[in-house]
Amino acid sequence: MTTAGHEAEEVKDVVWTYAGWVVIILICIGAGVFLGYTMWGNASVLKAELAQTTEMVNTLKNERETLRTQLAVNQRDKETCQKQLAAGAGGAQ
């Protein structure tokens, strides 16, 4: 009878040992998930950086379009001036 009681106690100890390991592992995984979500899950810093970068890109695109428009106007004016110069030089000869 003492052997059966001793074996039951050993089984109980082994179950408690493994249950303890499972609890520790679950706590570690839970802490990792919590820390990961708080640091990167919400990503509030990255969202702010994305908004700022998107705004900067849009501003640069608008500036580029403005410069392209100015370049086109200047090219047109240059061609007009060259035509007038060619017409004036041809008439002066």
Task: Determine the pLDDT at residue 1.
Answer: 47
Provide the whole-model pTM.
0.49
Task: Determine the pLDDT at residue 52.
Answer: 95
Domain count, the chain: 2
Range of the domain at 67: 43-93
Same domain, yes or no: 8 and 25:
yes
Same domain, yes or no: 47 and 27:
no
Same domain, yes or no: 49 and 93:
yes
Q: Is 1 helix (H, G, I), strand (E, B) or coil?
A: coil
The angle formed by the CA atoms of residues 19, 25 and 30, to the nearest 5 degrees, is: 125
Q: What is the pLDDT of residues 40-71, one digit of tens each?
A: 877 777 888 999 999 999 999 999 999 999 99
- The CA distance from 74 to 65, in Å, is 14
Same domain, yes or no: 38 and 65:
no
Same domain, yes or no: 59 and 87:
yes
Same domain, yes or no: 69 and 85:
yes
Q: What is the pLDDT of residues 69-92, one digit of tens each?
A: 999 999 999 999 999 999 887 655
Same domain, yes or no: 56 and 83:
yes
Residue with tokens 């052997």: 3
